[in-house]
A and B are shown apart, each in its own frame.
Chain A
Amino acid sequence: MKSQLPFHWFERFWSVAGAVSVRTKILGIILGLVLLLGLGVTVQVRATLIQTMDAQLEDQAVSVARDLAARATDLILVNDLYALHQLLNETQANNANVRYAFVVDAKGQVIAHTFGDGFPGDLLTANAAASDDHHHTIILNTDEGKVWDTAVPIFDGRAGTARVGLSEAGIRQTVNAVTGQLLLTTVLVSVIGVTAAAFLTWILTRPILQLAQAAQAVGRGDLSQRVPRWADDEIGDLAESFNTMTAALAKAEEERAEREQLRARYVSGVIAAQEDERKRIARELHDSTSQSLTSLLVGMRALSDTCDSLAMRQHAEELRSVAAQALDEVHNLALQLRPSVLDDLGLPAALERYVADCQRRYPLHIDLAMRGLSGCRLPAEVETALYRIVQEGLTNVARHAQASTASVMLERRDGAVRAIVEDDGRGFDPEAAGRAEERLGLYGIRERAELLGGRLTIESEPGRGASLFVEIPVSDSPNPGAKAGHAYV
Chain B
Amino acid sequence: MRYLSFILSLLLLASCAVPPEPSAPVIHLSDLKPLPADPSDDVVPLRVAVAAVISPKGTAESYQFLLDYLSQKLDRPVELVQRRTYSEVNDLVESGYVDVAFVCTSAYVDGNEKFGMELLAAPQVNGETVYYSLLIVPADSPAQTRSVADLRGRVFAFTDPMSNTGRVYPTYLVQQLGSAPDQFFARTFFTYSHDDAIRAVADGLADGAAVDSLVYDFAVARDPALGEKIRVIHRSPPFGIPPVVVSPTVRPQLKAELQSILLGMADDPQGQKGLQTVGVDKFVLIDDSAYDSARNLLAAVGPVSP
A interface, CB within 8 angstroms of B: 36, 40, 43-44, 46-48, 50-51, 54, 73-74, 77-80, 99-100, 109-110, 115-123, 126, 138-144, 147, 155, 158-159, 165
Contact: A141 with B24, CB < 8 Å?
yes
A47-B17, A80-B84, A141-B24 known; A118 vs B33 contact (CB < 8 Å): yes
CA A443 – CA B52 in complex, angstroms? Answer: 138
- With both beta carbons as reference points, the residue of chain B lying nearest to A32 in the complex is identified as B3
B interface, CB within 8 angstroms of A: 3, 6-7, 10-11, 13-14, 16-19, 21-22, 24-35, 38, 52, 55-57, 59-60, 81-84
A77-B56, A120-B32 known; A138 vs B26 contact (CB < 8 Å): no
CA A115 – CA B35 in complex, angstroms? Answer: 11
Chain A residues contacting B13 (CB-CB under 8 Å) are 44, 47
- With both beta carbons as reference points, the residue of chain A lying nearest to B23 in the complex is identified as A141
A36-B3, A138-B22, A139-B19 known; A73 vs B56 contact (CB < 8 Å): yes
A40-B6, A78-B83, A155-B60 known; A122 vs B25 contact (CB < 8 Å): yes
Contact: B24 with A78, CB < 8 Å?
no
New A-B pairs, 20, CB < 8 Å, besides A40-B7, A46-B14, A73-B56 = A47-B13, A50-B18, A51-B17, A74-B55, A74-B57, A77-B59, A77-B82, A78-B52, A99-B29, A110-B35, A118-B33, A118-B34, A119-B32, A120-B30, A120-B32, A121-B33, A138-B24, A139-B22, A142-B29, A143-B26
Please name 7 pairs of A and B residues whose Cβ atoms are closer than 8 Å in the assembled complex, sorted by A.
Answer: A47-B17, A73-B57, A80-B84, A121-B27, A121-B33, A141-B21, A165-B29
Top 6 closest pairs, chain A to chain B, by CB: A118-B32, A77-B56, A47-B14, A51-B17, A47-B17, A74-B56
Contact of B27 among A51, A73, A118, A123 (CB under 8 A): A123
CA A54 – CA B24 in complex, angstroms? Answer: 19
A80-B84, A117-B32, A121-B33 known; A141 vs B27 contact (CB < 8 Å): yes
- With both beta carbons as reference points, the residue of chain A lying nearest to B28 in the complex is identified as A143
Chain B residues contacting A117 (CB-CB under 8 Å) are 32, 34
CA A165 – CA B29 in complex, angstroms? Answer: 10
Contact: A115 with B17, CB < 8 Å?
no
Question: Whole-angstrom distance from the CB of A295 to the nearest CB of chain B?
Answer: 108
Contact: A141 with B17, CB < 8 Å?
no
Chain A residues contacting B11 (CB-CB under 8 Å) are 43
CA A141 – CA B23 in complex, angstroms? Answer: 8
Contact: B52 with A147, CB < 8 Å?
no
- With both beta carbons as reference points, the residue of chain B lying nearest to A33 in the complex is identified as B3
Contact of B57 among A77, A115, A116, A138 (CB under 8 A): A77
CA A129 – CA B19 in complex, angstroms? Answer: 22
Chain A residues contacting B52 (CB-CB under 8 Å) are 78
- With both beta carbons as reference points, the residue of chain A lying nearest to B60 in the complex is identified as A77
Chain A residues contacting B56 (CB-CB under 8 Å) are 73-74, 77-78
CA A299 – CA B259 in complex, angstroms? Answer: 202
Chain A residues contacting B84 (CB-CB under 8 Å) are 78, 80
Contact: B32 with A116, CB < 8 Å?
yes
Question: Whole-angstrom distance from the CB of B23 to the nearest CB of chain A?
Answer: 9
Chain B residues contacting A99 (CB-CB under 8 Å) are 29
Chain B residues contacting A36 (CB-CB under 8 Å) are 3, 7
Chain A residues contacting B82 (CB-CB under 8 Å) are 77-79
- With both beta carbons as reference points, the residue of chain A lying nearest to B57 in the complex is identified as A73
Contact: B24 with A140, CB < 8 Å?
yes
Chain B residues contacting A48 (CB-CB under 8 Å) are 17
Question: Whole-angstrom distance from the CB of B223 to the nearest CB of chain A?
Answer: 19
CA A47 – CA B12 in complex, angstroms? Answer: 10
